[in-house]
């Protein structure tokens, strides 16, 4: 499992979300940059995906959560 987390980061997760996307390349310890795709957002904007990876986050001091298949897209401004 790939692990990358900054103590000061806060993540808000939407369990109804179809895709988790970030432009923060440093969120990924071992990005699979051979994965490439496009997704269409609600506003019909197409976003290029340039990699994916599982991300482990700390939800509190002793609890960790894994977000599977987080996409990397340099054109997205924040975690979606």
- Tokens representing residue 31 in the block: 């990005």
pLDDT surpasses 60 at 6: no
Digit-coded pLDDT (tens) for 30-80: 899 899 999 887 778 888 999 999 888 777 777 888 888 888 988 876 555
Digit-coded pLDDT (tens) for 8-21: 555 555 566 677 88
pLDDT score recorded for residue 16: 63
pLDDT score recorded for residue 5: 53
Q: How many residues does the chain have?
A: 80
Exposed, middle or buried by CB within 10 Å (0-12, 13-18, 19+), for 74?
middle
């Amino acid at each position: 499992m790939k692990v990358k987390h900054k103590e000061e980061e806060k993540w808000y997760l939407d369990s109804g979300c179809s895709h988790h996307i970030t432009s923060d390349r440093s969120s990924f310890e071992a990005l699979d940059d051979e994965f490439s795709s496009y997704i269409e957002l609600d506003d019909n904007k197409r976003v290029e995906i340039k990699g994916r990876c599982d991300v482990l986050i700390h939800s509190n001091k002793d609890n960790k959560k894994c977000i599977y298949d987080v996409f990397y897209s340099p054109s997205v401004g924040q975690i979606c």
